[in-house]
Amino acid sequence: MTNIIIAGAVGLILSMLGTPLAIRLLSRRGYGQEIREEGPSGHHGKRGTPTMGGIVFVLASLLAYGASHLALLDPPTVSGMLVLFLMTGLGAVGFLDDFIKIYKQRSLGLRSGAKALGQLIVGAVFAFLVTRSPNVYGITPAETRVSFLRDIGPSIGIVGFTIWVLFMIVGFSNAVNLTDGLDGLASGATGVVLAAYVLIGNWQLRNNCIDQLGPNCYWVRDPLDLAVVAAAVLGALIGFLWWNAPPARIFMGDTGSLALGGVLAGLAIATRTQLLLIILAGLCVIITLSVIIQVGSFKMTGKRVFRMAPLQHHFELKGWAETTIVVRFWLIAMLCSALGLGLFYVEWMPR
């Protein structure tokens, strides 16, 4: 428990102090956000706001994770390192996307094919490694099975599992990217999911099959370290949100949104709660579905369901204030995470 507290505290402090330094540095270099011309008119005033702020909380998370292990002279685990690799790798893809936007002074960065290829390469390395490296008890960071509250059903094979993992990684990294459309929205929405994974990792540690074999115990490798990863990223994200809250002085950019989607997918895979993430990150899923519905409806009927997609921009065009949308969407994100945690704990309730 001590390393969870250390990771969260160090991540918070580093991000809180590091973000204003990044704002000054990025502003001096002219690394400002480009705005879509077809977007809500209220966003044009945000042009030039420093972007790529995700660099700050990604680095703060890595340093916080390292500090928690160094403080207790505890070596890092394979599971924790793999999740951080996924976060950092996808963050690097997002950084390239952001840098191209700034360099070419346009709202579009990497071409969609190149961006997807980068996500797939990082995801494929993660998928290859996550079913290997067993500990002394023979438990690997993941099994080739789909999971909900724990692994369910038979093995789907290494090929099937790799495809499933890639689908999760690309899906959730893009889902967080779509959610990142208003000041502080993605930061707050993913923060509550990370808080849920701190609790899930701690609960799996206390009911680990290695320590106490029972009917509902968990065959999860390194649950404590996965909670440490979640706490490190959560602390860093809270520190960043201090400066990203409306009106934002810095944006996370694709650097941050792809990294956050990656860490959520990685935690879900390593804690064996893959399908549960759909509920825990329900707001991101709803926003992604709004885009799918909008595109599908326009292609099939020539009509739009929403005034604009993603969903948050629909409410902007209806006249809702940005802070109203952000706070209400945060509340939805909290309800989704609470529902997911409730389902996670329900199998332990007396029957």
Q: What share of the chain is helix, strand, coil (3-state, %, to 5)?
A: 70, 0, 30
- Annotated binding-site residue numbers: 177, 254
- Annotated binding-site residue numbers for Mg(2+): 177, 254
Q: What pLDDT, on a 0 to 100 scale, did the predictor assign at position 350? A: 54
264, 186 in Cβ contact below 8 A?
Answer: no
Q: Is the pLDDT of residue 86 over 70?
A: yes
Please write the tens of the pLDDT for every residue from 143-189.
999 999 999 989 999 999 999 999 999 999 999 999 998 999 999 99
Query: Which among 350, 313, 219 has a CA at the least distance from the CA of 272?
Result: 219
Q: What pLDDT, on a 0 to 100 scale, did the predictor assign at position 44? A: 46
Please write the tens of the pLDDT for every residue from 282-306.
999 999 999 999 999 999 998 999 9
Query: Which among 205, 239, 204 has a CA at the least distance from the CA of 63?
Result: 239
Residues in the chain: 351
Which residue type does 22 have? A
How many angstroms separate the first and last alpha carbons of the chain?
30
pTM: 0.93
213, 279 in Cβ contact below 8 A?
Answer: no
Please write the tens of the pLDDT for every residue from 301-323.
989 999 998 999 999 999 999 99
